[in-house]
Amino acid sequence: MRRALVTGGANGIGAATVHKLSGSGFNVTFCDRDAAAGAALAAETGTTFIELNAVDFDAVARFFDKSDPFDVLVNNVGVDQHSFFSDTGPSDWRHFLAVNLESAFAFTLGVLPGMQSARYGRIVNVSSEAGRLGSRGGAIYASAKAGLLGFTCSIARENARYGVTANAVLPGPIETPMVKRAVELAGEKMRLDLQGLTLLRRLGQPEEVAATIAFLCSEDAGFITGESLGVSGGMGCRI
C-alpha cells in the first residue's frame, strides 16, 4: 500500500484530498495546525493525523527524522491574501511566502531521499490560477504560487531519473472555508464576481480538485511530470 502525506489536510481541498486518497487505497498521513478538525477527520477516515505547523521548519525536519518514507506528497497547505501590495510590508511578505512556497520546499526536501532510494514518487503541489494570472489584492500570494510552478518544474527535471514525478494543480475559485470567509467579509458581490471569472459560471468544489490530485498521485499518471493543470472552470483559458 502506497504511503501518502498531505499538508494542510484538515479542511477544504486538503480534507477532500485525504478522503479521496484514503478511499483510493492509500495509507494516508496528514498534518495541520487545526488539531480539533484534524483529529475528527482522522477518526472519520481511518487516517493518521499529525499536529504540525508547516512553517516550523525545524519541526518539519524532526517529523521526517522519525517517519518512514512516503511514496506520495501533496503540498496543499496555504493561506490567502486580501490586501493591496501598497498596504503590505516585509513581515507580510515573509509570512505569505513561507506558508505558500517555503513549506513546499521543506516537505519536498523531507520526502525526496526516500523517493529517490525507492526510485518511485509522486509530488503534487497545490498552486493557484493566481500564479498564472495575478491577483488583485493578492500580489504576494500570487507571487508565491507562481514560484511554486517554477519549483514544480525544477523538481520534475531533477528527479525524473529516479522515477519521481512532480506536477501542480491550479485551483480557481473553490468553495473552501477560506473562500467562504472572504465572501463573508466582502459581501455576496464577491461570490458573483468569483463565479464570473470562470467559463462555467460557478464555484468549484474541493472534491473536484481532490479528484485531479488523486489522479496525479496514481500509477496511471506515471508519464505526466512537470505539468501545471488548472482546475478552475476555464478561468485560465487563453486564446
pLDDT tens for the chain, 239 residues long, are 999 999 999 999 999 999 999 999 999 999 999 999 999 999 999 999 999 999 999 999 999 999 999 999 999 999 988 899 999 999 999 999 999 999 999 999 999 999 999 999 999 999 999 999 999 989 999 999 999 999 999 999 999 999 999 999 999 999 988 788 778 887 888 889 889 889 999 999 999 999 999 999 999 999 999 999 999 999 987 65
Q: Is residue 82 part of a domain?
A: yes
141 is known as an active-site residue: yes
CA distance 123 to 134: 24
Count of domains for the chain: 1
Q: What is the dihedral of CA 128, 131, 132, 135, to 10 degrees?
A: 100
Best CA proximity match to 147, nearest among 93, 194, 111, 198: 93
Asked whether the beta carbons of 72 and 4 are under 8 A apart, the reply is yes
Asked whether the beta carbons of 54 and 106 are under 8 A apart, the reply is yes
pLDDT at residue number 155: 98
Q: Is residue 199 part of a domain?
A: no
pLDDT at residue number 81: 87
Q: Is residue 237 part of a domain?
A: no
CATH code, domain with 81: 3.40.50.720
Q: Is residue 222 part of a domain?
A: yes
Q: Is residue 182 part of a domain?
A: no
CA distance 167 to 24: 19
pLDDT at residue number 237: 79
Cell numbers linked to 89: 510590508
Q: Is residue 198 part of a domain?
A: no
CA distances from 192 to 91, 196, 203 (A): 32, 6, 9
Best CA proximity match to 205, nearest among 237, 177, 235, 168: 177
Name the catalytic one among 101, 141, 152, 198.
141
CA distance 171 to 125: 11
Q: Is residue 56 part of a domain?
A: yes
Domain extent at residue 150: 3-172+207-231
CA distance 182 to 149: 25
